[in-house]
A and B are shown apart, each in its own frame.
Chain A
Amino acid sequence: MTALTIAKSINAGLRRAMDADAKVLVMGEDVGRLGGVFRVTDGLQKDFGEDRVFDTPLAEAGIIGTAIGLALRGYRPVCEIQFDGFVFPGYDQIVSQVAKMHFRSGGRLRLPITIRIPYGGGIGAVEHHSESPEGYFAHTPGLKVVSCASPADAYWMIQQAIASDDPIIFFEPKRRYYEKAEFDLDQEPDLPLNASRVVAEGSDATLAAYGPMVKTCLEAATAATDDGRSLEVIDLRTLSPLDLEPVYASVRRTGRLVVVHEAQRTLGVGTEVAARVTEECFYSLEAPVVRVTGYDTPYPPARVEEDYLPDLDRVLDGVERALSY
């Protein structure tokens, strides 16, 4: 067993992927000598050389666009986008090119590209550094979108993402980068990449979350026991495709679902989850699906972010609404 933070687990996963396959490249702004602004790629350039781990010009369209070319030439690029809010100069390359190449080529061309994006708020940052843009990508056919919430998942999911022949948008919960947990680096992963998982069992209501909000939901579930409530928590892990079987199974038992994410509410991941659960579990539901999310505003200044972001109290408030319906 090794105790690692999420940041160090991704680093270890990148290392293993690079050791396993000489075609794996790491590219982005400041990923080389600096090791990334969050140090996720720390030491990789030193160990794998400047051909495989390189600092790119400051241009996100270039990072994604050249990764496409490298992938066409047989490489497996792992692109780092420095912060969530800076992916948009590369958005055209992602949604019009990365997402569609396999489709357009009738399956002849594959783009095994992993695009890592530290995302989410709660770190007191200035604008553009705390956003949750996952919905834009999950809405785009051709992209697979995942987010890790624990060190073990970070370690395995990054390797599975790199091994995937489909392009993966890999969302990293930046405010949880320094959360630590023990896990076995050598034990094989218990789940494929695009699968969700129950992380706490309960019987009164179900909480579904991903990335940074999984911890918040687990804390809410612990707090709820004081009121004699038993909450089930599901880490969705994959946002596109969604894996909702565990959610359906849970809702059939609890009859109540609260979906939690930092991203704004309208047309977010929670909206899709709510629609599908309504379709699949209509007769099991005792209350409408509740969404506890960011509000439909731009991410606010840091000194009010605590009121924008779902926290333990807001999650429990959502649970109350579901239970008292």
Chain B
Amino acid sequence: MNTLNFVIVGHVDHGKSTLIGRLLYDTNALPTDRVEELKAACNALGRELEFSFITDHLQEEREQNVTIDTTQIKFKTQNRDYTIIDAPGHKEFLKNMMTGASQAEAAALIVDAKEGVQEQTRRHASIIALLGIKQVVVLLNKMDLVEFSKERFDQLKAQTETFFKTLDMTPAHIIPIVAKDGDNCANPSTRMQWYSGLTFLEALDQFTIKEKPTNKPLRYSVQDVYKVGEKRILVGRVEAGVLKSGQKITFLPSNKQTVVKTIEVFGNEGKKEAEAGECIGITISDPLFIERGEIACAVEQPPIIAQKIESNVFWFSSKNFEKKDKITIKLATQEASCRVEQLERIDSSTFEVIEHDATQLCPTEIGRFVLIPEKPIVIEDFNEVEELGRFVLELNGEAAGGGIVVSKQDKA
């Protein structure tokens, strides 16, 4: 059975960990001894059973009741398997939140109904938007603290819809819940008769698992070259389309044409076809010099070979970026040093432009970068082939920003 990966985000203390604990409990996903361990841990700290302890495993997380790092947990419904990615809500831990969110294909944004939308609520929403996660559900939690009020719900719902609109997104559902007691989480609530929509689990079951871009033109990223006996095998991954033995291909950006001689998979000799997502090896008909970073493409349908990359980047490093700094782009297996031609600073919680022509970018801000790589880079529009439309920026060897390629780019 296939798995849907979804991330739960939101401001600290709005109830992410409690919700996850509750979901696991209500779907019978917890081993008995884990529940016992949990009770013991709560006892040791002199507290009643806290559902949030199921995901907050680090000692510091429990003592301070705050999630520090992202966690992944599995559970299942009758329909399918899920991986829940718990992402910390503190500003300080945004990079961990992003690590978690980058693995997700759907997101649940949790908002405390009493406190309302907060700074991290908006920032997390903008990261979700930036990462291209389009399946979103909003959970208005702690409805017990606002007397299960429909008026409060309607007011928050309107507010949430407005700020999602500025991100060009529409949440699929907005659901009133009580994570602590399980209302509208796995089971419908009896305390909010005015609500006739879906429970959180029902909403999740309606999301779709992302299909691999099998119906797009072939893109095969070369990871490495192995010498096996007399063969030179180019190992890599089909990022998009289908690769067939006998097929004509062009390696880009070096622009070398050849034909796929064989597909090499250990224990599956004579394989004729490999589709998006498969990690294989190939041999080619001509003695070409090919290295990691080349992308083998369908001859008739080349990708964009960019001299200039326009992108939106979330800056999660704890250091400022100076426009004059050299940074390294890592996109699929390609890697290149870049200079920055243009930089616009955006506040990730208000979505407002701070500076149009900026010379620096600060932690947690979004930068609109125009990057000039030292050599051409093969890219795709993020909405066409994600695998070639997203990248990491490294500053001094450390991952510092994550971004996606935007709009149609100039072809080289």
A and B part of one assembly: no
Chain A residues near B (Cβ < 8 Å) = none
